[in-house]
Structure formats: structure tokens, C-alpha cells
Chains A and B, each alone.
Chain A
Amino acid sequence: MSDDTLSDYLKARGISRRGFLKFCAATASMLALPPAAGSAIAAALASARRPSVIWLSFQECTGCTEAITRSHSPSLESLIFDAISLDYHHTLQAASGDAAEASRHQAMEQNRGNYLVVVDGSIPVKDGGVYSTIAGRTNLDILKETAAGAAAIISVGTCAAFGGLPEAQPNPTGAVPVSAIIKDKPIINVPGCPPIPVVMTGVLAHYLTFGSVPELDSLNRPRAFYGDYIHDRCYRRPYYDQGKFARSFDDEGARSGWCLYELGCRGPTTRSVCATTKWNQGTSFPIQSGHGCIGCTEPRFWDTGAFYKAISAPIGPVGTAAAVGLAAGAAVGAGMALRNRAAKKRAKEGHRTITTDDLEK
């Protein structure tokens, strides 16, 4: 942990207090906090020490690092990324060989119990973990050693969070996510292939500000960024509701910007802020660029069926059936549960099961 505070650091870089305040207001907005939290963030960040961060890259493609370092400066992402003391990142650091490993050990010793570990990439465990090694040691070994003294672990990207591509069938290396190995530390999953840079830094900003892990969902993803389905925030949603669908990538519907559901869009089953935060400084996101969502923030997205086949969906309107029951005043307690069960059963019957034949189409 560096001795100077974040505000000292920003000041040394010529960032004014107004700039800082504005940055904090935008951060609060990004974290879905009320606007008043901007001032609280400013106060907390101003006195926060720059935390030591050890970044471990395992079985991955470096896309996550590419994403986070390719932001135009000075952006929120670069500010936060610069504001941490990144003590080890084998792709970015100048040191190599023994010197690099020595710097990791030094950061661990000096900040024991307080440093953050960022992991991108899954960890192969088959055959003793021999399929991915750094400095002659397995990823499994390095992760266990580094995690022991960490305050928290941030699993960046779908590989670290859920196993990702390396874990896809037939998973030749026995790849597993961080959470399968480390059980005694708080783990924040920030999935995406890659995650949106500002989502990665937003999690860091939250940790810096409040010194705690943000509110997480059942898959340990921060609710601020993975609370809503892309479908529910999609600007093409009105077309879905009107039943206007593109049926091929060059038909009238596609040209008119209609819903891509029938072309396999995973928006209805994928939680991410792609539709609102967007990519490349808010330029666009896959659906806006004319391609359906592939569901990259969800576990096992590679193995959940062909990307261009419509996802199976209930034919009967589940929500409506339940709502009608409620309106009739008959659906309280057990009655409601019964109706929901009936709706669920209908929905289940309405599902189209995907077979291996479908995958090959």
C-alpha cells in the first residue's frame, strides 16, 4: 500500500478538486448510487490509501487486460486504474524473471492481509495443473500462495469468474474458476468476455471508497452492474413487445433495427449493463451494432446452445397469468402459489428442448 492518498496522487497529476468531484459524481452514477453519494465518495477517496494490487493472469487471452488498458485517457477507467498501486502484472510490468516474482513476494509481505488480488483466466487443475505454469510453477500453486494474504479477490472476466472458454466442453485442461479453489476469501465475480472496462474499475472504485465488497447477486456479481437483464434495458425492446423481429441478418427487419431475439440474441437471459453503459466510450454495444448478445457474462455461455438459434422461451405469458390472478383478488398466499405453479408448469411445457442436432444446425 502506497503512503500517499488518492487525492495527493491525483493532485500531483494536475487533477483539480472540481475535476475530482465531477469524477466522483460520475462514479456514483456508474455504481447506481444516489447522486448525494458523489460527495461521500469524494470524501472517502480523498483520504484512501492507494491499495496494493497483484494481478494474476492465468489461462486467458489477455483480452481483459487489453480492455481495461485501452480506455482513452483521462477517463474514469484510467483514473481509477492509475490510482491503484499495481505491484504485479506480468503482461504490463517492466520487470521479468526472478525480479518480477520478487516484486510479487515483496508486495505480499509488505501488505499482508490488505492487498487486492485481481485474477483473469481460469485455473487448470487436471494432471496437477501442468497445463499452465508461470516461472515453472502451476497457476494453482501461485493462486493459493497469493490468495492466502489477500483482503479480497476480484475475478475479472468470465474465465476467472466461471471457467469461461477453457472450461467449455470437453474442458481438456480441467479448468475451474477461482471460486472453486479459494473458499476463505471474499470473491467478487466481474464476468464478461471481456467485461466493460468501467465495470472493472467501478468495482475497484467501490472497494476503494467503502473498503468493502459491493452488494453481490447469487453468482457473486455486483448488483450495480449485473442487476438487470440486457433485454429489459435494450432500446430494441419495444420491437420485441410489438412482435417485430429480424429473421435474418440482411432482411427488412434487420435493416429496420428490429429485435434480434429470433437470431439467437441472449439479451433476455443475460445480466449486464451493456445496453446502458455501452462500449468504447459509450459508442455502441453488440445489439446496437446489429448482432445479438452472446450472453458472455453468464456461466457456461459457450455450452448453452448455438449462438444463432433463438433461446427457448415459454410460449404462454407467465407474468400475465400471475398478474390476472392477483387482480381478481383470489391470489393471496396459497392461491398465488398454486397459480404460479400452474404458470410454471405451462412455461415448462412451452420450452423447446435444445438437442445436439440443434447445435449442429
Chain B
Amino acid sequence: MNRLDSIPVNAVPHGAVKHADGNARAILQQIAQMLETLLTTGETGSIDLHALPLSPADRTFLSESLGTGEVQAEVEALGKSRAVETGISGVWWIVHHNADGDVIGEFVEVAFCPEILLTPVEDVRDGLDALRARLFVAGRNLAGHGEDHE
């Protein structure tokens, strides 16, 4: 990708849309509704930002309106994923990258904790099995160690 980036692009953007055309505002309304649902029913919600036409101005308006909160988490799974809690608690900005660093998905998630950060139940089960196996091996090694001294 570096070589592609190094090709100079001389096109001068003219007359690009400079104002948020309203989609950002609509998204904020939707987020407010999702927060209300989260509070009353506990149901989480998600908005796919790639599915919506957003001008750069819309994006800026959206991210500035939400601000930045306390939590920033990074997940390393098939490339990096970043989950950032916005200044509005319970509203998370999730960006998925692939191994090459390209963005493959961008979502606004309304939840107490975004799904990507929660440990899957199956993983907990696998973890328990792995820990038991390690305890078993450790126990056997200890026992083996004891025998050497006898």
C-alpha cells in the first residue's frame, strides 16, 4: 500500500460539500432513541456508518457532537479493532481494520459494553478446559518432581 500512497494525486477538490447535510443530525436522533431503549429495556443497538452517505463535514459534526469519553480499547483479532467510548456514555465508536490496516467496518454501538469486548461464552469454556489441562500438567510435573527425590 505504501507505493500506492506515494503516487501524487494532483486533483484539487472544488466545491466539495462543506456543510453537514442533515444525515449526521438524523444519526444523533437515532442514537438518542437507542440510548432510551437501552435504559428502559437493556436492548443494545448498532448503526452501520458505511451504509450511510456521510460527507466529511457530516462525519466531523457527528464525532464532535459525541466527543471522546474515558474508555479506549483495542482488540487484536484478524487485524486491529478499536472501541472508543464517546463523550456520551453508552455510545461507542467501533472501527474494524483488517491485517493490512484498511477499515473494513465502522459502527456506532449503543451498549453498556460493546460486543467485540465481551468474552464469548465458548471462549470461557475453552479457557476453563485449558486451565484445567495446565493444572493437570503442573500437578503431574510436581508429582514427577517428588518422585525424583524419593
Which residues of A does B touch, CB under 8 Å?
A: 15-19, 21-23, 25-26, 28-29, 32, 34-36, 38-39, 72-76, 233, 238-239, 242, 244, 255-258, 276, 280-283, 290
Residue of B nearest to A76 (CB): B104
Determine if B120 is an interface residue (Cβ-Cβ < 8 Å).
yes
Q: Is the CB of B77 within 8 A of A18?
A: yes
Total inter-chain residue pairs, C-beta < 8 Å: 94
Q: Count residues of chain B with CB under 8 A from any CB of chain A.
A: 35
CA distance A100 to B102 in the complex (A): 38
The 0/1 profile, CB within 8 Å of A marked 1, for residues 10-46 of chain B is: 1111111100000000000000000000000000001
Q: Choose, from B57-65, B92-100, B137-145, the stretch at the interface.
A: B92-100
Listed by A's residue number, 30 A-B pairs whose Cβ atoms lie within 8 Å are A16-B77, A16-B78, A17-B122, A18-B77, A19-B77, A21-B116, A21-B120, A22-B77, A22-B116, A25-B105, A26-B105, A28-B48, A29-B51, A35-B46, A36-B46, A39-B115, A72-B98, A72-B99, A72-B100, A74-B99, A75-B99, A239-B15, A255-B12, A256-B11, A256-B14, A257-B14, A281-B98, A281-B100, A282-B102, A283-B4
A331 → chain B, closest Cβ, in Å? 27
Q: Is the CB of B75 within 8 A of A18?
A: yes
Task: Chain B residues near A255: list those with CB within 8 A.
Answer: 10-12
Task: Chain A residues near B13: list those with CB within 8 A.
Answer: 256-257
Task: Chain B residues near A256: list those with CB within 8 A.
Answer: 11-14
CA distance A35 to B77 in the complex (A): 19
Our pick among B1, B48, B81 for the contact of A35 (Cβ within 8 Å) is: B48
Q: Is the CB of B120 within 8 A of A18?
A: yes
- Asked whether A26 and B10 contact (CB < 8 A) given A17-B120, A19-B78, A282-B103, the answer is no
A33 → chain B, closest Cβ, in Å? 9
Task: Chain B residues near A74: list those with CB within 8 A.
Answer: 78, 98-99
